[in-house]
Chains A and B, each alone.
Chain A
Amino acid sequence: MSDTITSVLSDAAEGVIDRRIFWDREIYELELERIFARTWIFLAHESQLPVSGSFVTTNIGSDNVIVVRGRDDVIRAFLNSCPHRGNRICHAETGRTRGGFVCNYHGWSFGLDGQLQGMHETDAYKAEPSFDFGEHGLVPVAQLDTYKGLVFGCLDPDAPGLGDYLGDFCWYLDVLLDNQDCGTEFIGGCIRSVIDCNWKIPAENFAGDALHAGWTHDSGARAMLDAPVPEWWGKESYQVNVNGHCWEFNLDLVGNASTFGDKRLNRWIRSREAEVEARLGRIRSRMLGAFSSVTVFPNMSFLPGQQSFRVWQPLGPNRVELKTWVLVNRALPDEIKEVYRKGAMMTFSPSGVFEMDDGENWEYSTRANEGVVTRRQKLHYGLGRDSRLDHPELPGNVYRNQVNDANQRAFYQRWAHLMAAETWAEVPKS
């Protein structure tokens, strides 16, 4: 297996990818250890945790965690498993608890700070001289931090902090998270679905696959908008990446937003352009709703302009649970929030036109690797190998033309670096 990973490292630079990484269970198990249990994973938006006792449950790779706001307003996260017999503590996906969590099995109860409060027959434990209630609370997620409303957790106490992990990618994230003073929020609920594909296939699609949009989604676009997806080759557009976090975009301001076919939305985004330019500069103001897509390594993605925000949670080497929310500026008029909410359902949801297009491709891209001979054939990721450029404003690794495989190569290089490294000290910055 280490041969596979070493070869991915050199292959990614060369522009080819070994198919075994989309199918082999051994590799998947190592991903759970070396990617998901070591990197910063999106857990929740602060707007999902408005008051003391508000909680969500979610996954960091294979580990289910509870994220909860305490009485002291601090957000904490814990493994969702009782330290007594291991039962799941919280079965709800989201909600509010007034005091904490009680295990169904023996009534072990834990406060919002994860501390053990008591259990059925508490007196039996109190009579036990060696039993220290302070030592048997819920196991905390090793690190927790936020970036402008997004709550991230990391199960590795030795991992670099969130600021280092995101690095210069924050400059780009501010297009989504800080284009107005009001901050952002999730509206509506979480849209959940399961796709039988390897988790990296959708993650790399959002990282840098502008190419598929005009082809895969052509019929959907014609049905929704009476027009094809425009071709962008030759116009000003980019792929950028930092530490495996990837953004592909052009500067058309409203390309993604236009796919909802609602003129109110385009007018709204255009009306904000000057204000955003004053705040973030010209380039970032033109990215606001542009034809673009983003993945924050490893499994958080979003679409600027459509405001579809999602995570790809692995359920095995060839299955993901997709969770989608709609992320908007808090101060957005209700009418425009509603346009986004409906637009998300029409485009990227289990019944959405574009999700259907993608899901089918991703499932077959995964399943084809079941073939033992097929699996030995490497895949082509070589587009745009000479497109690297130095840009006076754009930070990170910058490539001209969003129709490019540069981001996907960077995604897999980061993946291979992490998979090969015993410790974070061995992981190069990229």
Chain B
Amino acid sequence: MSRAVSLCAAGEIPVGGARRFVVEGHEPVAIFNLGGTLYATADKCSHQRASLSEGEVDGDEVICPLHFQVFHIPTGEAREGITRAPIATYAVCVDHGQIVVELP
């Protein structure tokens, strides 16, 4: 059963920004703010240990800082690079001013 986890105040991640969250009992989560819309994905690259929230965001894609693997943020699809393994994506919303992510 999924659980809703509150991460931070919505204003803390500006447009174009990204941030990593450590959640107990779960892999770290990355929140991206693409043009005012929030997206949540796994923060760890599906290839090797690297934090995607530290990568460059280019349009609706993030480029892993370690080996430059490109992921589509809304779907988690692995697009260009070394691996075809996608990253997990999670439902995210703003509830009472807080960013809330639905984790499995």
Contacts and interface: CB of A to CB of B under 8 A. Distances in A.
Interface in B47-98: 48-50, 55-56, 58, 63-68, 70, 80-81
Given A71-B56, A118-B50, A122-B49, A98 B65 contact: no
A129 to B, nearest CB: 21
Given A98-B70, A122-B49, A117 B65 contact: yes
* Binding site secondary structure of chain A: mixed
Nearest to B82: A102
A107 B49 CA distance: 13
Chain A interface size range: 10 to 19
A210 B81 CA distance: 51
Given A98-B80, A118-B50, A122-B49, A107 B56 contact: no
Contacts of B56: 71, 99
A109 B58 contact: no
A114 interface: no
A71 to B, nearest CB: 7
Interface string A106-123: 010101000001101011
A99 B65 contact: yes
Given A71-B56, A118-B50, A122-B49, A102 B80 contact: no
Contacts of A289: none
Contacts of B50: 118, 122
Given A117-B66, A123-B49, 18 more contacts: A97-B68, A98-B63, A98-B68, A98-B70, A98-B80, A99-B55, A99-B56, A99-B65, A99-B67, A99-B68, A102-B67, A102-B68, A107-B67, A109-B66, A109-B68, A111-B65, A122-B50, A122-B66
Interface of B: 48-50, 55-56, 58, 63-68, 70, 80-81
9 contacts: A98-B58, A98-B63, A98-B70, A98-B80, A99-B55, A99-B56, A99-B68, A117-B65, A118-B50
Report the 9 A-B pairs with minimum CB-CB distance, sorted nearest first.
A99-B68, A99-B63, A118-B66, A98-B63, A102-B67, A98-B70, A100-B68, A98-B68, A117-B65
